[in-house]
Structure 1
């Protein structure tokens, strides 16, 4: 079940979810949650001085990263319900809470910009825009979708992989979740790096830079955990 997003009042300290203590990766995960919640609040107070292009990098990032995050939240909730590994459960809690908050922020950006949540161009086409976000995506991007032959976004698990995760149990489920989430985060870092480079608004550029740092830290934590499974 998606967790509600909340916007901390101006000047208030962000509320950080409590996670199980005592794990090697906890320090980096705490940074992920703290920075995500801080920028969730910052986004609401950031004003856009000019209209945002419906086919540019800012809108493309907001739409595509929402979908990317949605699958990460789904995977996290699946494994948290079935795993008995406390480290896996704590990481799943972090992913579900932080990325659900971020989804809500990106949804709100599009509303504030007066844009639809629906895409006018293929997924990730904005990443190949040679105009740096100043208009529509390039013809090549519109044709290829940048995400592969099937138009899927980079790092996304396939329907077959998601079904395998639902059916798995025990250590097999823990390993499959970790493998899928590492790849998922790697795709998220690639998308966020493009957002840093191509977005016009400081809101999106700063948020995308945060995603790069946060998900890179979680990739390292997941890779260390995977070696022990």
Structure 2
């Protein structure tokens, strides 16, 4: 028991999810678009409305497309513009990352994005899990001035990357916050908390509710993902509350 509250961040993709997450124990939102691509830049309008209705900070994903994390000059310009636009309508922080084709951190691109964010905190997202060497990347990201790193330990899920995550938490110490996320479970939390450096966690507590459009043609499919067709992505309030209770029990 450390006595210190562990911060709970949830990625959200819809207005409904943002409201429910903030009302049921989430301390910070990561606002994204395009669940199927793992998150892209959301609309300024959505951010503006959410900021008027939630009491918690909202960090915003800056990613112009899915596929990879190597950006052309034009895409980088769009990212810089999005930081300005979304910052002006209330973003409390930003979430982004850029890589070279070798998998190493694109230091120059990240510097430009960090400069555009000015004094707002920035998270290096799970592009970190695609690099060949997480420990070398950690040092690059610390040197750049990111405030946190979202990671599953270089694996698909936190449970598979626990040993690397534990080492990252220890090496990062108080220089940067390592934010475990990616299929995070209660069992993972107990293990990670033993490092003594677990300060924040990232979990979606997602739920796909059936669409209320019962009279619409079900045979017409507009989504490439079977998981989302005819459903609305939101969060499960009970899961959020349960996760929050688990975190509080760790103190």
The structure with the greater share of residues assigned to helix is 1
Same fold, TM exceeding 0.5? no
- Where relative contact order (Cα < 8 A, 6+ residues apart) is larger, the structure is 1
The structure with the greater share of residues assigned to strand is 2
TM-score of the superposition, structure 1-length normalised? 0.24
TM-score of the superposition, structure 2-length normalised? 0.22
